[in-house]
């Protein structure tokens, strides 16, 4: 039998993986795999385990939310020849799973994790750290990691919405200089995202529908701080219609690398996890860095 390392977060998504663990392991065994099973115990556990043991396995499967995937990828990106990665989404939002067209049912997703075709995906570098699908700063970007796990387990995706509503009165802006592809832009921004995804925060098609995971490019969105109600209305219209303007309140462009310099230390999130506070950030795309199993897109 072939060996497989299976890492799962027992608390992700209201703990639903615990009730399906036997089904998932049955899928692995039925496809000729002898799994080594490890439930994560604390934050950073998946990264530590893959660093120590991941090189021994031809395939790794992780089960949990985007945070669990982020931790596993962080360790895989340190390897010279990383194994194929299967992902069974079991978190609250599961943004990145939508890019891979993974089934919601855990048993069907387990089948994809061992049988699905492997595609090479771009991975981001953020001041040396790895991220899978989004690096962001500004309004509401800390909601995912600041929302208590128990709150998420009780209310699901609604927990993020409720937590976000509580932040409405504390939105601030950041003065930044952004350099990319020989161009420089400067301004006060309330939100910025550098992403490789067609779903952020559960909203599909945002920041873009036509995202290619292996084109070596990020989709970048910067939202200028509105000076008045009319500018706020223009921003909301651009967001709803997904029509960023070149130098308007909502700026959008594609690039393989960029540098952002802030007048103070701005807090960043990487795949929904805290990525530290930084004055200067260098972000680059590592093209086709990892092989991930994908499903079939349902029309």
pLDDT at 147: 41
| pLDDT at residue 151 greater than cutoff 80 | no
Buried b (16+ CB within 10 A) or exposed e, 126-137: beebbbbbbbbb
33/156: higher pLDDT: 33
Report the run of H or E that residue 99 belongs to, with start and end: helix 95-99
pLDDT at 1: 87
pLDDT at 238: 63
273 flagged as catalytic = yes
pLDDT at 245: 53
**Looking at domain 129-289, which CATH architecture does it have?**
Sandwich (2.60)
| pLDDT at residue 191 greater than cutoff 90 | no
Integer CA distances (angstroms), 271 to 74, 142, 240, 263, in order: 11, 11, 22, 24
243/60: higher pLDDT: 60
pLDDT at 160: 35
- Please calculate the CA angle 92-95-100 and round it to the nearest 5 degrees: 125
Distance CA 75, CA 292 (A): 14
Confidence of residue 225 (pLDDT cuts 50, 70, 90): confident
pLDDT at 240: 58
Please say whether the beta carbons of 163 and 146 come within 8 A.
yes
| pLDDT at residue 233 greater than cutoff 80 | no
pLDDT tens digits for range 102-131: 999 999 999 999 999 999 999 999 999 999
> Could you say which of 3, 265, 273, 296 is catalytic?
273
pLDDT at 190: 84
Give the domain 2-121 fold.
Rossmann fold (3.40.50)
* Among the ranges given (70-84, 139-153, 163-177), the one the predictor scored with the smallest mean pLDDT: 139-153
Q: Sort residue 181 into left (φ over 0), alpha (ψ -120 to 50) or beta.
A: left
Confidence of residue 172 (pLDDT cuts 50, 70, 90): confident
Share of the chain above pLDDT 70, in %: 78
pTM of the model: 0.85
pLDDT at 91: 86
Q: Start-end ranges of CATH 2.60.200.40 in the chain? A: 129-289
Q: Start-end ranges of CATH 3.40.50.10330 in the chain? A: 2-121
| pLDDT at residue 243 greater than cutoff 70 | no
| pLDDT at residue 205 greater than cutoff 60 | no
Q: Considering the chain, what is the average pLDDT of its residues? A: 84
175 Cβ contact partners less than 8 Å away, ≥ 6 residues apart: 186, 187, 188, 189, 262, 263
């Amino acid at each position: 039998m072939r060996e497989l390392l299976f890492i799962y977060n027992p608390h992700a998504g209201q703990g639903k993986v615990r009730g399906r663990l036997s089904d998932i392991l049955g899928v692995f065994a039925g496809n000729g795999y002898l799994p080594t099973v490890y439930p994560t115990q604390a934050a950073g556990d998946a990264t530590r385990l893959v660093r120590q043991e991941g090189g021994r396995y031809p395939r790794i499967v992780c089960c949990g939310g985007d945070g669990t995937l982020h931790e596993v990828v962080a360790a895989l990106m340190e390897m010279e020849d990383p194994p194929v990665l299967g992902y069974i989404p079991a978190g609250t939002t599961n943004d990145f799973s939508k890019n891979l067209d993974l089934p919601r049912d855990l048993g069907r997703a387990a089948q994809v994790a061992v049988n699905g075709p492997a595609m090479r995906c771009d991975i981001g570098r953020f001041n040396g750290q790895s991220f899978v699908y989004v690096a962001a700063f500004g309004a509401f970007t800390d909601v995912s990691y600041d929302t208590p796990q128990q709150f998420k387990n009780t209310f699901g995706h609604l927990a993020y919405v409720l937590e976000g509503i509580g932040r409405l009165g504390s939105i601030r802006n950041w003065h930044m200089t952004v350099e990319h592809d020989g161009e420089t832009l400067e301004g006060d921004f309330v939100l910025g995202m550098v992403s490789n995804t067609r779903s952020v925060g559960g909203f599909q098609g945002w920041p873009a529908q036509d995202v290619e995971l292996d084109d070596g490019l990020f989709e970048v969105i910067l939202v200028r701080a509105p000076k008045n109600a009319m500018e706020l209305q223009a921003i909301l219209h651009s967001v709803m219609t997904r029509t960023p303007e070149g130098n308007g309140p909502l700026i959008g462009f594609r690039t393989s690398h960029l540098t952002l310099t802030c007048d103070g230390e701005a807090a960043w999130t990487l795949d929904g996890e805290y990525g530290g506070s930084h004055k200067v950030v260098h972000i680059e795309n590592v093209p086709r860095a990892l092989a991930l199993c994908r499903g079939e897109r349902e029309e």
